[in-house]
Amino acid sequence: MSGAAKGDPVIEVRDLVKRYGGVEAVAGLDLTVNKGEVFGLLGPNGSGKTTMILILLGLTEPSEGEVRVTGLDPLRQPLAVKRAVGYLPDSVGFYDTMTARENLRYTARLAGLDTAEADARIDNALERVRLSDVAEKNVAGFSHGMRQRLGVAEVLVKDCPIAILDEPTNGLDPQSTTELLDLIRRLRDDGRTVLLSSHLLSLVQSICDRVALINHGRIGLTGSVDELRSRVLGGSYTIEVEAENVDIKTATAAIPGVAGFADLTPGHVRIRATADIRADVARHIVERGGRLTRIAMHQPSLDDVYQRYFEDQRTVEGQRAFKGASHAA
């Protein structure tokens, strides 16, 4: 690969549009993924994630716009792009009558690896996704989680600078999900750039350096999870306090950053704040002779951000539609 330094853009998408008939599956999308980061593409089903990924791989032609993967145009140099990218499709499938190893061998041959090199890499990859024991078993008996891991093994065998994973945790049980997220982290630790798509937000927020919220073929917001949180929710935190021998409200009202209260019981208060002010809250209560029994902060997850963001979108759109209708009337 080119000697791009960490932080250089490896995937660039400009004004991308893809129409199916009259429907815009991707409607003017801009995106930059930098070298060495884990980038999350988050959006509900049908928002255009898979379509964009297929365009990145040169498997679908864009209607408009420009795409560059490691500086290459997937339309004109599809083979070079496909050599640079390892791809795990959503609901990945394998040849059931072949063993796990045979399946990997086949794609390794398609990728142009020679047999000895491929075999060494396959052993390594299977070890890493913990499928060595079943390497010689037919894939027919594999669970969904095992297939997904085998898909990751294939990406490892291909050993590309970029890994694109489409809905990698879709349909997995919690334990398999954790395992897969671990594997993805290790992909990044090897120095790969990872682009993954998902509609499962809370899972992805734990591994993504940056996230783009996508809906109706458009990117709504891009940034780190923290940035998105403060931009959408205005940096709101909820701090739960339990204390005895003190009026929590009066004790903490003067702290800068407190935005409001909701009390549940006399000794149990929820403080809305614009920053993490747990230390201040504790100090103020203790200084007034209170006995602090519990203090906990509830940070809004990306789910909340996401829900809030698209709720707003929907309201705006609803209003627009309503205005349009009344205008016509």
Ligand X SMILES: Nc1ncnc2c1ncn2[C@@H]1O[C@H](COP(=O)(O)OP(=O)(O)O)[C@@H](O)[C@H]1O
Region from 28-36, 102-110, 120-128, 287-295 binding another protein, contact rule CB under 8 A: 102-110
Region from 7-15, 50-58, 173-181, 264-272 binding another protein, contact rule CB under 8 A: 50-58
Helix (H, G, I), strand (E, B) or coil at 236: coil
Task: Determine phi and psi for 270, rounding to 5 degrees.
Answer: -110, 120
Region from 32-40, 76-84, 205-213, 288-296 binding another protein, contact rule CB under 8 A: 76-84
Region from 70-78, 127-135, 229-237, 298-306 binding another protein, contact rule CB under 8 A: 70-78
In degrees, rounded to 5, the angle at the alpha carbon of residue 36 between the alpha carbons of residues 30 and 37 is 55
Region from 103-111, 236-244, 253-261, 290-298 binding another protein, contact rule CB under 8 A: 103-111
Residue type, 247: D
Q: Is 87 in the site for another protein (CB under 8 A)?
A: yes
CB of 57 or CB of 297, closer to Mg ion? 57
- Candidate list 39, 94, 237, 309; residue touching another protein; CB under 8 A: 94
CA–CA gap between residue 188 and residue 194 (Å, rounded): 7
CA–CA gap between residue 48 and residue 270 (Å, rounded): 39
CA–CA gap between residue 6 and residue 244 (Å, rounded): 52
- Candidate list 50, 70, 177, 252; residue touching Mg ion; CB under 5 A: 50
- Candidate list 1, 110, 262, 316; residue touching another protein; CB under 8 A: 110
Smallest separation, CB 201 to Mg ion (Å) = 15
Count of CB atoms situated within 10 Å of the CB of 85:
25
At 131, list the tokens.
């499928």
Nearest residue to the partner Mg ion, using Cβ:
50
At 77, list the tokens.
């140099």
Q: Is 65 in the site for another protein (CB under 8 A)?
A: no
- Candidate list 10, 16, 31, 51; residue touching ligand X; CB under 6 A: 51
User: Could you say which of Mg ion, another protein, ligand X, none residue 236 binds, taking C-beta under 5 to 8 angstroms by partner kind?
Assistant: none
Q: Is 50 in the site for ligand X (CB under 6 A)?
A: yes
Region from 44-52, 75-83, 119-127, 275-283 binding ligand X, contact rule CB under 6 A: 44-52
- Candidate list 9, 64, 71, 106; residue touching another protein; CB under 8 A: 106
At 23, list the tokens.
């429907």
* Helix residue spans in 12-143 (DSSP H): 49-56, 78-84, 100-110, 115-128
CA–CA gap between residue 33 and residue 223 (Å, rounded): 11
Residue 163 Cα distances to 73, 134, 153, angstroms: 17, 24, 12
Whose tokens are 């209003």? That residue is: 319
**Burial readout 54-65 (b: 16 or more C-beta within 10 A, e: otherwise):** bbbbbebebeeb
Q: Work out whether strand 237-244 and strand 268-273 pair parallel, antiparallel, or are unpaired.
A: antiparallel
Smallest separation, CB 219 to ligand X (Å) = 12
CA–CA gap between residue 183 and residue 152 (Å, rounded): 8
Q: Is 22 in the site for ligand X (CB under 6 A)?
A: no
Q: List interacting residues with Mg ion (CB under 5 A).
A: 50, 90
Contact residues toward another protein (CB under 8 A) are 50, 54, 57, 59-60, 75-80, 82-83, 85, 87, 89, 91-98, 106-107, 109-112, 151, 154, 158
Residues lying near ligand X in the complex (CB under 6 A) are found at 20, 23, 25, 43, 45-51
